[in-house]
Amino acid sequence: MKKVLIGLVVLIVLVFGGLKIFEITNYGGTTYYTKITNAG
């Protein structure tokens, strides 16, 4: 069970990290940041 949880956490971190890097490199990150903060 712990392995599954760790795997999920790693996956989430990688996905969100990848999205942030992708958005920052393409748009400067401001639009992505406002989307995140507005979504809550």
Residue boundaries of the structural domains of the chain: 2-39
**Where residue 20 falls among pLDDT bands split at 50, 70, 90?**
confident
Alpha-carbon distance of 6 to 12, in angstroms, equals 10
Tokens 């956490």: give the residue: 9
CA–CA separation, 31 and 10 (whole Å): 25
The structure's pTM equals 0.44
More confident residue, 18 or 28: 18
pLDDT score of 31 more than 80? no
pLDDT of residue 27: 61
Distance CA 33, CA 1 (A): 33
What ranges in 1-40 are assigned the alpha helix state H?
2-27, 30-39
pLDDT-derived band at 19 (thresholds 50, 70, 90) equals confident
Task: Say what the alpha-carbon torsion angle 27, 29, 31, 37 is, to the nearest 10 degrees.
Answer: 170
Q: How far is C-alpha 31 from the geometric centre of its chain's CA atoms?
A: 14
